[in-house]
Amino acid sequence: MEKKHKQVVMRVSNQASREVDGVGDDADRAGNKHSTQGNNGSEKKVIVVFVLGGPGSGKGTQCANIVKNFGFTHLSAGDLLRAEISSGSENGWKGKEAINKIPKIEFASIVFFSTMIQNMIKEGKIVPSEVTVKLLQRAMKESGNNKFLIDGFPRNEENRAAFEEVTKIVPEFVLFFDCPEEEMERRLLSRNQGRVDDNVETIRKRFKVFIESSIPVIEHYGSKGKVHKVNAARPVEEVFETVKEIFSPYGANVYLNSFQHLNSLVRYPHGHYLDLRDDRSFRVELRMSNESMTMDHAVVFINPTILWPVSALIPQTQNISLAAAASVLCPNFTNRCLQTPPLFVLF
Ligand SMILES: Nc1ncnc2c1ncn2[C@@H]1O[C@H](COP(=O)(O)OP(=O)(O)O)[C@@H](O)[C@H]1O
Ligand SMILES: O=c1ccn([C@@H]2O[C@H](COP(=O)(O)OP(=O)(O)O)[C@@H](O)[C@H]2O)c(=O)[nH]1
């Protein structure tokens, strides 16, 4: 769990903050009133996919794959809550000097909220919507992206109504991972992420809450024809094959065999993959298909005349995927490449 948790915290603190303004878009298929500013000043539709399924059905695992392949930002409501608990306890344990700087009432509420969230998670209970919706809204704003996977939320009807009411966002669809309890229990007991709720007693409570409170949410969206049910009781790769088909209309990445192909993509931009800033510059995201590469999430400014230093850093045999999305700055790279003004910007 630690790993997932840290990822979310990094996203929140490092990514460029661009407002997700509530500007209307009546033509929006999902009826969303939200949009976000594109690089060329154009409004982009906000796409939200709710990823639901019982505890241990593989939501987080599949979301990580979707992020890599389709440029969505993954927001796990559970991870955001756990991050909130640890930021609360950090505030609480930084020592007297730090405590004194926080106004008393604020300090009491920080401690109160983190303790309350922690207790609810330990009991497998659903945290009040005001807390979760606020955390999700903040993370969406800070991500700078317009495509979100909201994992493990909404967990009940109250969550669902509050999210739609506060954000005015209606999900594009719901991805529902269907898995038998015995399989989910087996997975959770070997998840090994040190979570306070991955013990038999709490797991059983979470199953009960899922059936009583979360299934009605899935049924609600099912009645609107918005649910994609996926058999999650299969190996990760097989599940992802099904997931890929569902996401294919939402910006499948282009896989290139060699960096040279980037030139032709830049000259003949495809709407999904290259985001036109003006007649000279483009913004795209570059990700290595190999997870271990440090280039993942690097922001790179490239002038075609200095393309070679960048291509030299990318093994020609690697597949490279492109998707329009925001990412995290990689200062060494930018300093080096910015010696010449960028003709286009490669994320
Ligand atoms: N299809 C699968 N088959 C076997 N194990 C899986 C599968 N998907 C995920 N897991 C494992 O099960 C555990 C729970 O998965 P996770 O993605 O954290 O579930 P969730 O986010 O739904 O609680 C993790 O240890 C993960 O590695
Ligand atoms: O929207 C949410 C998401 C999570 N939780 C709490 O966080 C726990 C863990 O949720 P997560 O989605 O991280 O894990 P899962 O149970 O799906 O593996 C839940 O049991 C709830 O107590 C919550 O209250 N509201």
Average pLDDT, the chain: 67
**Whether residue 202 sits in one domain with residue 55:** yes
- Which residues pair with residue 36 across a beta bridge? 44
CA-to-CA distance for 217 and 292, rounded, in angstroms?
Answer: 37
DSSP 8-state secondary structure symbol assigned to residue 199: S
pLDDT in tens, 5-57: 322 222 222 222 222 333 223 334 445 655 554 434 446 689 999 999 999 99
- Are residues 112 and 149 both part of a single domain? yes
Residue 43 confidence (pLDDT): 61
Our count of domains for the chain comes to 2
Task: Pick the last residue of a domain from 247, 264, 281.
Answer: 247
- Asked which of 230, 247, 264 is the last residue of a domain, the reply is 247
Q: 324-334 as b/e, with b when 16 or more CB fall inside 10 Å?
A: bbbbeebeebe
Q: Looking at the structure, do residues 29 and 60 belong to the same domain, yes or no?
A: yes
CA of 27 to the centre of ligand 1 (A): 37
Percent of the chain exceeding pLDDT 90 equals: 44
Residues 301 and 238 occupy one common structural domain: no
Query: Quick one: tokens of 224?
Result: 């609107």
Residue 146 sits in the same domain as residue 276: no
Residues 32 and 13 in one domain: yes
Determine the residue type at 165: E
Residue that wins the pLDDT comparison between 31 and 150: 150
How far is the C-alpha of 81 from the C-alpha of 58, rounded, in Å? 19
Nearest CA residue ID for atom 5, ligand 2 = 78
Q: How many separate helices (H) and strands (E) can be counted in the chain? A: 14, 13
Atom of ligand 1 nearest to the CA of 234: 1
Q: Examine the fold and report which residue of 212, 247, 282 is the final residue of a domain before the chain moves on.
A: 247
Residues 59, 196 share a domain: yes
Q: Are residues 224 and 286 in the same domain?
A: no
CATH number at residue 49: 3.40.50.300
Domain that holds residue 262: 254-346
Cβ atoms within 10 Å, residue 95: 7
Single-letter amino acid, residue 89: S
Residues 241 and 122 in one domain: yes
Annotated binding site for a ribonucleoside 5'-phosphate: 82, 125-127, 152-155, 195, 206
What ligand 2 atom has the least distance to the C-alpha of 54?
17
> Which ligand has its closest atom nearest to the C-alpha of 162?
2
Give yes or no for residue 299 having a pLDDT over 70. no
75, 189: one domain:
yes
Residues 45 and 162 in one domain: yes
For residue 154, cis peptide bond before it (omega within 30 degrees of 0)? yes
Q: Cα of 325 to ligand 1 centre, how many Å?
A: 26
Question: What angle do helix axes 2-14 and 129-143 make, rounded to 10 degrees?
Answer: 60
| CA 236 to centroid of ligand 2, rounded, Å | 21
Cβ–ligand 1 contact at 239 (below 6 Å): yes
Mean pLDDT along residues 288-303: 32
- Listed in sequence order, the DSSP H helices in the chain are 2-14, 59-70, 77-93, 96-101, 104-122, 129-143, 157-167, 181-189, 200-209, 215-222, 236-247, 261-267, 307-313, 331-337
- SS3 of 80, please? helix
Residue 296 CA to ligand 2 center (angstroms) comes to: 28
Residues 233 and 278 both lie in one domain: no
